[in-house]
A and B are shown apart, each in its own frame.
Chain A
């Protein structure tokens, strides 16, 4: 079993032996060495449904919000859920949390809304990993990518958690502004890699 494991690391063996066993001054030696490759792995997302607030259907890597707008105020309804990933990096590394659009933005289907209506919903995404955390503020200030990087100066493995939060009434046009009808979307990407 151990030999098999060594071969997966790139095993090299060298041998030394005397010409005749009877005359050898020292027993033969076997030198074994290997190189562990630098690895970063991140598994599929697992949404913690039990503790979620205002979470809709989860379809693979698409997470749907149950009710983005409050039926009474017509503005943003609070959202809260955590996403777990089984992750591992065996060297000092960085975790990058990036948003494609810097907020949940309405997918444009026509003219932009007037100032009376909001088209964007800001959110916070907090990365919890290796005993530390870092928050990406997707503030919906403009439709633009946003990135947060967390450097980890040691190997780490276990559950990487992204805490996704939307505050009640939060919009790009100010607190409590009604949301224009439509589909709102952003893509959040978690990447583990070298610093």
Chain B
């Protein structure tokens, strides 16, 4: 019995040895493990604009906030009482603007001038429109145009983030006209959107 038992041990030992020889090499120790994580977030381009405030350098004009984002520049004395020609007017309005990325900004004159809303009748060399210079400055850029009777826009769009004051200046030169009596008006709109 003992001899048989020894043979069995011997046989098992051989089997183990064969198994080790036939199997893969003992795997090297894995002494390190690592897991990378990517943390990511997006910030969309966004724009904010404050209500209008009166800017510096106004002449012959009164600023008022009309509420709901609207404001008004009312000319004090539009024409020279002796010639019916325009008096000099400078109206400056500012908006605090912040855009976190690319954005579109347009300043548009709807009527292309100060247009008589009372009458369209012109006679004797009198005019129903007073053209003016529209200037806008924003984020280091400045654009301007002179109205000529049709809607016109200034494009101050930007490809990057920007913040600060958007300054819109309306300048009516002296001597235009003579003008037909009545109320004159234009609407300047500021369109700001994030791209």
A residues with a Cβ closer than 8 A to B are 7, 10-11, 13, 15, 17, 20-22, 24, 28, 30, 37-45, 56, 61-65, 67-69, 71, 74, 79, 83, 85, 87, 91, 104, 106, 110-111, 113-114, 116-117, 121, 123, 162, 164, 178-194
> With A and B bound together, what is the CA distance between A192 and B36 in angstroms?
12
Give A111 to B159 CA distance when docked, in angstroms: 10
- Verify A189–B9 contact, CB threshold 8 A: no
B150 within 8 A of A: no
- Which residue from B35, B37, B39, B102 sits with its C-beta under 8 Å from A181? B102
- Smallest CB-CB separation from A54: which chain B residue? B41
Q: Which residues of A contact B27 (CB under 8 A)?
A: 37
CB closest residue in chain A, given B36: A189
Q: Which residues of B line the A interface, CB within 8 A? A: 1-3, 5-6, 9-10, 13, 16, 19-20, 26-46, 48, 98, 100-102, 159-164, 194
Residues of A within 8 Å of B40, CB to CB, are: 62-65, 183-185
A102 to B90, CA, bound (A): 52
**Of the residues B2, B35, B100, contact of A61 by C-beta under 8 Å:** B35
Total A-B residue contacts, Cβ distance less than 8 Å: 169
Residue of A nearest to B29 (CB): A37
Inter-chain contact B35/A180, CB cutoff 8 Å: no
Q: B98 near A178 (CB under 8 angstroms)?
A: yes
Q: Given A69-B46, A180-B43, do A63 and B163 touch, yes or no (CB 8 Å)?
A: no
Q: Which residues of A contact B34 (CB under 8 A)?
A: 42, 189-192
Pairs A–B under 8 Å by Cβ, sample size 9: A7-B20, A28-B5, A61-B35, A62-B40, A65-B41, A114-B163, A116-B164, A179-B100, A181-B194
When C-beta atoms are compared, the residue in chain B nearest to A21 turns out to be B2
Docked-complex contact A10 and B39, CB < 8 angstroms: no
Contacts of A15 in B (CB 8 A): 9-10, 13
Residues of chain A with a CB closer than 8 A to B5's CB = 21, 28
Q: Is the CB of A194 within 8 A of B31?
A: yes
Q: A186 contacts which chain B residues (CB < 8 A)?
A: 38-39
Q: Which residues of B contact A13 (CB under 8 A)?
A: 13, 16
